[in-house]
């Protein structure tokens, strides 16, 4: 059962018009599935997209205890970080551990959705929650996500250029590396001949028409291609606009608004490694794993690299970042030892659950604020470790 003392206070009034599909769309907007690693499997695991959602609960993963609590809370949807079926399955029979959970959720009409590495990489996601909790002001991601950028080119009559340009900006185009309303224009002569059956805004059927036109160039995230195209077509005066689009390397500098795995940032106040370790221990949820540190306890810490969850694959990125310390989870002996021998930053190793679970309360708050639904972090400790011992020296 859930620990009621850890639950947030939930208002009772809510709209009965929100559906599973709408909650999914909201989560996908915050944590775009395109940011997920290729091996990952976030998204809707079970549930009818058309079902009404009146109450949402959140947890790090869908365990039997979490499902018990979701049923007890009369939830219609369970939002988790770790996908239940991430490694694939050949059966969801009710007598298998994962199948048992799927059957119970479906039987009680509880939809299950996960946001995993897409929530790790997204701005405002798991890593940003962790950084904020530890007093780290984010400067950029530790490993920026590849962000395909479209370069659009469109010809438009001179007197319609401003309206079209503003429509493109309004749809999200023209934003680049800390600037917006960015475009480039060149003037030229356009030529076309309307054929029978066309309905030209300018010109006469079967006669060649020449028009002074402006070619507008703008950039936009590739994921917004359909939105930009619709804005272009709707705002363009021609029956058939002439435009082209190609994907390019934006060359932009990573910054706080750049998605990616992990974060690099500076502490709100410099402190020793010993003091920062103490802060981490006090601010993260308690686990028997505790917090382990490798490095000089008296070293001054001003810059922190961090990665929620298992992050030893980013040890090289942490070393290249110039940070004073790298905080992550599930560090192994040999990679950590080799990292320190190569004069990499000090290491802080936390429990996997502890570094990620603060996100649960944050996503619950955001869903409540956005959708007006009762939404709560179940506050259930799903860390698998139950006993921790130390031997006095």
Question: Please, what's the b/e burial string for 217-253 (b: 16 or more CB within 10 A of its CB; e: otherwise)?
Answer: ebbbbbbeeeebbebbeebbebeebebeeeeeebebe
Mean pLDDT of successive 10-residue stretches along the chain, which has 393 residues? 36 64 96 93 96 98 97 98 88 93 97 98 97 97 89 96 97 88 96 93 92 96 91 96 89 85 97 98 95 97 98 96 97 95 97 97 98 96 90 58
Q: What pLDDT sits at residue 392?
A: 58
Q: How many CB atoms lie within 10 A of CB 54?
A: 15
CATH 3.40.1390.30 in the chain is located at 20-118, 123-144+260-355
Question: Please, what's the b/e burial string for 264-298 (b: 16 or more CB within 10 A of its CB; e: otherwise)?
Answer: bbbbeeebebebbbebbeeebbebebebebbbeee
Per CATH, domain 149-248 is 3.40.50.10420? no
Level-2 CATH architecture, domain 20-118 = 3-Layer(aba) Sandwich (3.40)
123-144+260-355: CATH topology: 3.40.1390
Q: What pLDDT sits at residue 393?
A: 53
pTM, 2 dp:
0.80
CATH 3.30.70.120 in the chain is located at 149-248
């Amino acid at each position: 059962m859930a620990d009621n003392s850890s639950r947030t206070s939930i208002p009772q009034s809510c709209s009965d018009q929100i559906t599973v599909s709408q909650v999914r769309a909201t989560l996908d907007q915050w944590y775009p599935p395109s940011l997920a690693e290729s091996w990952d499997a976030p998204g809707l695991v079970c549930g009818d997209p058309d079902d009404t959602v009146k109450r949402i609960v959140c947890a790090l993963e869908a365990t039997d205890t979490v499902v018990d609590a979701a049923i007890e809370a009369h939830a219609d949807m369970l939002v988790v970080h770790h996908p239940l079926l991430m490694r694939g399955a050949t059966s969801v029979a009710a007598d298998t551990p994962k199948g048992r959970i799927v059957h119970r959720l479906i039987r009680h009409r509880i939809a299950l959705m996960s946001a995993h590495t897409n929530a790790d990489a997204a701005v405002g996601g798991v890593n940003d929650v962790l950084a904020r909790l530890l007093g780290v002001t984010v400067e950029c991601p530790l490993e920026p996500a590849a962000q395909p950028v479209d370069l659009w080119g469109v010809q438009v009559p001179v007197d319609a250029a401003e309206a079209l340009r503003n429509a493109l900006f309004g749809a999200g185009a023209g934003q680049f590396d800390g600037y917006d309303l960015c475009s480039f224009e060149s003037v030229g002569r356009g030529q076309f001949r309307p054929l029978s059956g066309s309905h030209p805004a300018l010109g006469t059927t079967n006669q060649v028409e020449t028009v002074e036109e402006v070619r507008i160039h703008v950039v936009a995230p590739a994921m917004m291609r359909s939105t930009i195209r619709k804005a272009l077509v709707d705002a363009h005066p021609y029956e058939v606009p002439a435009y082209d689009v190609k994907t390019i390397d934006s060359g932009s500098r990573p910054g706080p608004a750049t998605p990616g795995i992990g974060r690099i940032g500076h502490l709100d106040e410099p402190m020793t490694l010993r003091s920062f370790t103490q802060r981490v221990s006090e601010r993260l949820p308690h686990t028997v794993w505790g917090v382990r540190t490798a490095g000089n306890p008296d070293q001054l810490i001003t810059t922190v690299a961090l990665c929620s969850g298992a992050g030893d694959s980013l040890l090289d990125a942490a070393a290249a970042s110039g940070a004073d310390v790298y905080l992550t989870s599930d560090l192994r002996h040999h990679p950590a030892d080799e990292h320190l021998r190569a004069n990499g930053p000090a290491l802080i190793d936390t429990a996997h659950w502890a570094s990620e679970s603060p996100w649960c309360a944050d996503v619950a708050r955001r869903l409540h604020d956005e959708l007006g639904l009762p939404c709560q972090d179940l506050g259930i400790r799903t860390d698998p470790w139950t006993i921790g011992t130390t031997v006095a020296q």
